[in-house]
Amino acid sequence: MNKIFKSLLCAAALFCACGLSAKDRNNILKVYNWSDYIAEGVIDEFEQWYKEQTGEDIEVVYMTFDVNEAMLSKIEKGHEDYDLVCPSDYIIERMLNSGLLLPLDYAVLGSTPNYIAENRSPYIEKMFREINPEIDANDYSVAYMWGTTGIIYNTGYVSAEEASTWDIIRNPKFAGKILIKDAPRDVYGPVLIYLKQKELASGEVTLQELMYDSSDESLALVQDYLLQCKSGVYGWEADLGKEQMTKERAYVSLNWSGDAVWAIEEAAAVGVELDYCVPEEGSTVWFDGWVIPKYARNTKAATFFINFMCRPDIAIRNMEETGYVASNAAWEVLESQIDEELEPIDLSYFFGPDASSVRVDPILYPDRAVIERCALEHDWGNDTEKLLSMWQTVKGSRTSTSTLVVILVVIVCAVAYFVISAQSKKNRKRSRRRK
């Protein structure tokens, strides 16, 4: 009897514990986002807003990453039950291809306004359709921020002309003052575009085709180029580059437009002038989007969180604090960025026909001409391993191929000199003996 009673008690305790933890998990939202990518206070406000909208409590567990590939490897292992992640376009493509994402279901929003649908830019929608030609990424992802990859430069040491080519990262004039983003795909793309200028000009290859090029030949070309740059590189940075530019530890930084906006503003406050340029040869345009991984356990709160991020006032705050550009086409977002001192640019592609001449910072919103020389990166599937190993070779090896060749030549010459002089010594001895 006693035994039976004990077993019943254990079962009841287990039942309560399971019930409780399941309930607890419904009140937890695990978000995995890039670092420095959200305004202060927004998460707390979301928790309050969620309660107002649903009557339910929610606690956001917020974690950050700096490198797309590091985040992806965690998701692929499936050890983490994140509810919401914010990968870049080519990673969204990879996740879609490997069935790692859940489709979005806006029905859970009930009577809450759908800010996602209300503020979607036609440009973002079109670019998201390009992510994966077979599955519409718009059904699985909502763009958060977007931008270009280019060069941040210190105008006191670097001219606009010098910064207008990717060759600047190999320019010996700036040796020791060059920063490169620790983002293999975002470096590979622009460098390959630079190295294939002739083929691009002659129409032998298109920018879009280059974004799928994971051939051994192209990887070797980019590797060789980066090894040539390496002796001048001050650092490979994941998120500290913008600060190092404001402190003038480096004068040139291969970086994202959002880091540029942040750095330009911070630097101006301490009397340092920085600028940003998307080199003439072309570059990449990128989009980071919210996705719900298949291991998610709170898809309802995840959908509400995405929706909250698309509320125009929240999008504006996130933009202003991070330097990055919200993928939000609400008119009030555009209005918040207008500066009468700037030259008008054509942003109709993003905000619609009424935005064909608006005074907005072109680093934030590139004009059509810049967009036209930029392409979207694509997933390489299993070839991604080749890229990561090339990246390790470049970052990890202290000695470049050309240095190795020089060392080898010196060794061969020394050995040859030693053998020849030993031989001639012997010959001299022999001839002396004969005498």
Please report, for residues 20, 21, 118, the alpha-carbon distance to residue 10 in angstroms, rounded to integers and kept in the order given.
15, 16, 51
Which residues, 286 to 345, sit near ligand N2P by CB under 6 A?
286, 288
Residue 240 C-beta: closest distance to ligand N2P, Å: 10
**What is the number of the residue whose Cβ is closest to ligand N2P?**
34
Q: At what angle do helices 184-195 and 384-396 cross, to 10 degrees?
A: 90
Closest to ligand N2P by CB, 49 or 65:
65
Secondary structure (3-state) at 235: strand
Residue 348 C-beta: closest distance to ligand N2P, Å: 25
Per-residue burial over 357-373, b if 16 or more Cβ lie within 10 Å, else e, is ebebbbbbbbeeebbeb
Q: What are phi and psi of 374, to 5 degrees?
A: -120, 145
Structure token pair of residue 199: 């083929």
Residue 63 C-beta: closest distance to ligand N2P, Å: 14
Rounded CA-CA distance 222/189 in Å is: 9
Closest to ligand N2P by CB, 255 or 400:
255
Number of H helices, E strands in the chain: 19, 11
Please report, for residues 188, 305, 403, 419, the alpha-carbon distance to residue 416 in angstroms, rounded to integers and kept in the order given.
41, 71, 20, 5
Residue 197 C-beta: closest distance to ligand N2P, Å: 25
Closest to ligand N2P by CB, 232 or 241:
241
Rounded CA-CA distance 352/358 in Å is: 12
Instruction: Indicate the pairing of strand 274-277 with strand 141-154.
Output: antiparallel
Rounded CA-CA distance 173/112 in Å is: 57
Which residues, 101 to 160, sit near ligand N2P by CB under 6 A?
none
Contact 132, 140 (CB under 8 A): no
Which parts of 41-183 fold into alpha helices (H)?
A: 42-54, 68-77, 89-97, 115-118, 122-131
What's the alpha-carbon Rg for the chain, to the nearest Å?
27
Classify residue 125 by burial, with Cβ atoms within 10 Å: 0-12, 13-18, 19+.
middle
Closest to ligand N2P by CB, 263 or 316:
263
Which residues, 30 to 49, sit near ligand N2P by CB under 6 A?
34-37
Rounded CA-CA distance 132/138 in Å is: 10
Instruction: Indicate the pairing of strand 84-85 with strand 28-34.
Output: parallel
Q: How many residues bind ligand N2P (CB under 6 A)?
A: 10
Which residues, 370 to 429, sit near ligand N2P by CB under 6 A?
none
Letters for 233-252 (x = contact with ligand N2P by CB under 6 A, - = none) are ------x-------------
Residue 47 C-beta: closest distance to ligand N2P, Å: 23
Closest to ligand N2P by CB, 49 or 286:
286
CA 283 to chain centre: 13
Which residues, 166 to 205, sit near ligand N2P by CB under 6 A?
none
Residue 23 C-beta: closest distance to ligand N2P, Å: 34
Residue 226 C-beta: closest distance to ligand N2P, Å: 20
Closest to ligand N2P by CB, 251 or 262:
262
Among 49, 251, 256, 276, binds ligand N2P (CB under 6 A): 256
Neighbours of 63 (CB within 10 A): 14
Closest to ligand N2P by CB, 36 or 243:
36
Residue 140 C-beta: closest distance to ligand N2P, Å: 18
Closest to ligand N2P by CB, 257 or 400:
257
Residue 92 C-beta: closest distance to ligand N2P, Å: 12
Residue 184 C-beta: closest distance to ligand N2P, Å: 13
Which residues, 63 to 102, sit near ligand N2P by CB under 6 A?
88
Closest to ligand N2P by CB, 37 or 49:
37
Structure token pair of residue 14: 């287990």
Closest to ligand N2P by CB, 209 or 239:
239
Residue 268 C-beta: closest distance to ligand N2P, Å: 20
Closest to ligand N2P by CB, 224 or 361:
361
Rounded CA-CA distance 148/363 in Å is: 9
Please report, for residues 164, 227, 365, the alpha-carbon distance to residue 150 in angstroms, rounded to integers and kept in the order given.
9, 20, 13
Residue 82 C-beta: closest distance to ligand N2P, Å: 17
Closest to ligand N2P by CB, 138 or 255:
255
Which residues, 268 to 287, sit near ligand N2P by CB under 6 A?
286
Beta strands in 162-282 (DSSP E): 178-181, 233-237, 252-256, 274-277
Per CB under 6 A, residues contacting ligand N2P are 34-37, 88, 239, 256, 258, 286, 288
